[in-house]
Structure 1
Amino acid sequence: MTVRNRGALAALAAGVAALTVATLVACGSQPAEDVGADEAANLATATPTPSASAAGGQSVPVTAGELPAGAEIVPPVRLVIPAIDVTATVNAVGINKRTNEFEVPPSVDEIGWYRYGPGLETTAGSIVIAGHVDSAQQGKGAFFRLRELDQGDTLTATGGDGKARKYRVVAREEYAKTKIPLDRYFARDGKPRLTLITCGGPFDAKARKYRDNIVVTAVPA
């Protein structure tokens, strides 16, 4: 996952959850058609700002919207998704100062919470968790089967405060990486929701990355 700083903003370019490994294996079967796209869009209330061109990277409004003053940020530390047999450790991740890449954990068994956005305590905005789909060296990643999630599936995110919070899937969407509406998925405003992201679609062997991103949106159950 590549992120570039631009003033108070960070820009997500190219891949999500697959750019910290040298090569990747093919991504299995393709997901069914998108579900819940309108519902996911309605959770965001802000009007997206124009993104940069695909060549220059797309803007992620990680500072758009204000968290409650003095609120304690509760990081997710564990994610359980029974429908796809996922039990994964969640690490707080940011931007690698040397490479300007979003630092998804190098182990494909672990996933990363974007610590510049809201935590589990939030009453507004998108909590972003991203993970690898797979790796040529390590095999299937924690989010290998993310594309199989459907509306109504449930998941549990446990925070650093020890509290388990349940969520219900409302949408599963697939986007070309150059067309994903990042302002929506990284916003700090709108209704509280959990956004899970990994790679998907055809694998470009020459570019060593997947063409698309799979995005799953869940709301408090």
Structure 2
Amino acid sequence: MTRPAPSRRRLWAGAALAAALVAGSTACGQEAADEPTSAPPAAAPASPAPSPTAATPTAAAPIDIRPAVPEPAVSIPRPVRVQVEGTGIDLEVIPGGVEANGAMALPDNHDQAAWYRYGPAPGAEEGSSVLAAHVDSRTEQLPIAGLKDVPAGTVVTVTREDGSVLRYAAEGVDHIAKKSLDGHRLFDRTGEPRLKLVTCGGQWLEAQDDYEDNVVLTAAPVS
């Protein structure tokens, strides 16, 4: 099986995605006391050194510190398969992270989609669960190329590793220029729970060696 061209493996999230990855991982220390602005009068005697065992009082209020490690999230079974009714889209799903250039990492094959594992999983109570896959290879278009034509109301099914099945209904499909992709919106960790299927689309730009757009299908959970 021919591997996809390196230039067609990119789902760009830009600086917004990089910012989302480091959120919650920063700790800050307490600031040092201000230095005196002038020397004491020459006639004033030097203050005696405090006893090694004496407590040194301070008027500084304690500073709240963000934990360096976020509290563990509620465990949710990871997605292992996604299917879109009435299309040929039927893909195994594996966890995916981020490449060194800030793009979402996708599998190096045509049969799998990546779930953005640093964001919500399908079934989470809030935020967007992002699944992404290649649109083509060097020699052929892949089934997910039909994502742009999926009508509203189409059922999207996600199977999880524990065997449970989640159903979503497509709300619509957006073509978003990669140069203006809103990473905070696509990879949102808050708000109404949504499933987002993503691939490349639009015009092939020879100068950029990449597609012009990302095609994003948004679907809402149904009972």
Any idea what SS the aligned residue of 2:6 has? coil
What whole-Å deviation, never above 9, does each CA across 1:151-203 have from its counterpart, x for those lacking one? 11111000111101000001211111011222111011001100111111110
1:190–1:216 CA distance, 2 compared to 1 (3 A)? same
Who is 1:21 aligned against? 5
Who is 2:111 aligned against? 109
Alignment TM-score, normalising by the size of structure 1? 0.69
Q: 2:132 aligns with which of 120, 130, 133?
A: 130
Structure 1 residues 1-221: aligned runs within 5 Å: 21-22=5-6, 57-60=14-17, 61-62=20-21, 70-96=73-99, 101-137=103-139, 139-221=140-222
Q: For residue 21 of structure 1, what is the amino acid of its counterpart?
A: A
State the distance in 2 between where 1:140 and 1:113 align.
Answer: 21
Any idea what SS the aligned residue of 2:208 has? coil
State the distance in 2 between where 1:122 and 1:165 align.
Answer: 11
Any idea what SS the aligned residue of 1:190 has? coil
Which one has a larger percent strand, Structure 1 or Structure 2?
1
State the distance in 2 between where 1:116 and 1:70 align.
Answer: 11
Alignment TM-score, normalising by the size of structure 2? 0.68
Who is 2:56 aligned against? none
> Are 1:76 and 1:90, in contact at CA under 8 Å, matched by a contact in 2?
yes
Any idea what SS the aligned residue of 1:58 has? helix
Structure 2 unaligned residues grouped into runs of 5+: 25-69
Query: May I ask how many residue pairs the two structures share in their alignment?
Result: 169
1:92–1:194 CA distance, 2 compared to 1 (3 A)? same
1:93–1:70 CA distance, 2 compared to 1 (3 A)? closer
Aligned-residue RMSD, C-alpha: 2.5
Any idea what SS the aligned residue of 1:188 has? coil
CA drift of 1:96 comes to 3.8
What whole-Å deviation, never above 9, does each CA across 1:84-127 have from its counterpart, x for those lacking one? 22111011111245x65422011122111000001123000000
Q: For residue 132 of structure 2, what is the amino acid of its counterpart?
A: A
Who is 1:16 aligned against? none
Who is 2:59 aligned against? none
Which one has a larger percent helix, Structure 1 or Structure 2?
2
Higher Rg: 2
Q: Specify which structure has the bigger relative contact order, considering alpha-carbon pairs within 8 angstroms and separated by 6 or more residues.
A: 1
CA drift of 1:208 comes to 1.8
> Are 2:14 and 2:103, in contact at CA under 8 Å, matched by a contact in 1?
no
> Are 1:75 and 1:160, in contact at CA under 8 Å, matched by a contact in 2?
yes
Who is 2:27 aligned against? none
CA drift of 1:68 comes to 8.8
CA drift of 1:141 comes to 2.3
